[in-house]
Amino acid sequence: MRIYLKISRQLESDIRQYFRPGDYLPPEMQLAERFQVNRHTVRRAIDELVANGLVQRHQGKGNMVLRQPHLYRLHDGAHFTGNLLEQGSLPSCQVVGSRLMAVTGKLAVELNIEPEQKIVHIQTLRTTEGIPRCVINHYLSDPEWWPVLKHFRQGSLHEFLRKTLELELKRESTRLSARAPSNEECRLLQINKSVPVMRIKTRNQLKGSNQIAEFSVSSSRSDLIEYVVEH
C-alpha cells in the first residue's frame, strides 16, 4: 500500500542518479503512465519531494529539481558563515526587484517617517556557488534617491550609495530573530517551510545625522548560514 510513497522514493532515487539541479522531471502524465497510476497519485508523490525541498513546481513548465537530497543536512559540517557586521552591504547581491512604494504602518515606524510618504524598496538576493543563501529587503526613506537607485543592479548597496550619491551610512541598530519562511522566501531561497530563516533587521542612519536613511530586513537560510559577532 501507499503507492505514492514508493513512487516518491523511486523518484528521489532517480533524481540522485540521473538529474541535476535545474533539470525538469518528466511531465506528471508521463510519470503516471510509467508507474501505471493516476496522475493524482504522481502528484501526491511529488508533493513529498516538494515538502522535502527536492523539487519545485512551476505551473505550465514542469517540476524542477532543486538540489541533491544529501545537501540539506549540511549544517553540521563546514558551511557558509556570514559576518553579522557586513549585513546590508554584501558585495555579491543581485537585485530581484525595486520600486517606489507608499510606506505602511510598521515600516513608517522603523524609518521614523510619516505614513503615506513614498519610499524606495529594493529586494536583493545573495547567491553563492549557485545556491541562494539570503534575501534582503531594503527600504530607503528618501524618494529623491529613486532616479539613481533604480539603476542599481548588483553589488553592495551601501557602496553604491557612497559612490553615486555620496551618502555614508552608519549602523544604528541590529535585531536578530528566526522565523518559518514566508511563501516568497521559500520561492527565492529554494527551501520549504521546514527550514527556518534567520532574520536580521538593521536601521542605518546618515552619518552625522539622526535620521534613519535605510531599514533592511535580511532572511538567511538557517541550514546554510551561521552568523558570527566580532568582539
Partner DNA sequence: TCCCATTTGTACGTATGTATG
Partner DNA sequence: CCATACATACGTACAAATGGG
Residues that bind a second copy in the complex, under the rule CB under 8 A: 51-53, 72, 75-76, 81, 84, 106, 171-180, 193-198, 222, 225-229, 231
Name residue 123's beta-bridge partners. 97, 137
Gap between the Cα atoms of 27 and 57, Å rounded: 11
Give the nearest distance from C-beta 16 to a second copy in angstroms: 18
Name residue 139's beta-bridge partners. 121, 215
CB nearer to DNA: give 24 or 227.
Answer: 24
Give the nearest distance from C-beta 193 to a second copy in angstroms: 6
Which of a second copy, DNA, none does residue 68 bind to, with CB < 5 to 8 Å depending on kind?
Answer: none
Structure-block grid coordinates of residue 106: 510598521
The answer to whether 224 touches 80, Cβ cutoff 8 Å, is yes
Give the nearest distance from C-beta 154 to a second copy in angstroms: 26
The answer to whether 227 touches 77, Cβ cutoff 8 Å, is no
Name residue 64's beta-bridge partners. 24, 56
Gap between the Cα atoms of 155 and 144, Å rounded: 21
Which of a second copy, DNA, none does residue 174 bind to, with CB < 5 to 8 Å depending on kind?
Answer: a second copy
Which of a second copy, DNA, none does residue 150 bind to, with CB < 5 to 8 Å depending on kind?
Answer: none
CB nearer to a second copy: give 94 or 128.
Answer: 128
Q: DSSP letter for 4, please.
A: H
Binding positions for DNA, rule: CB under 7 A: 1-4, 24-25, 27-30, 36-41, 43-44, 57-63
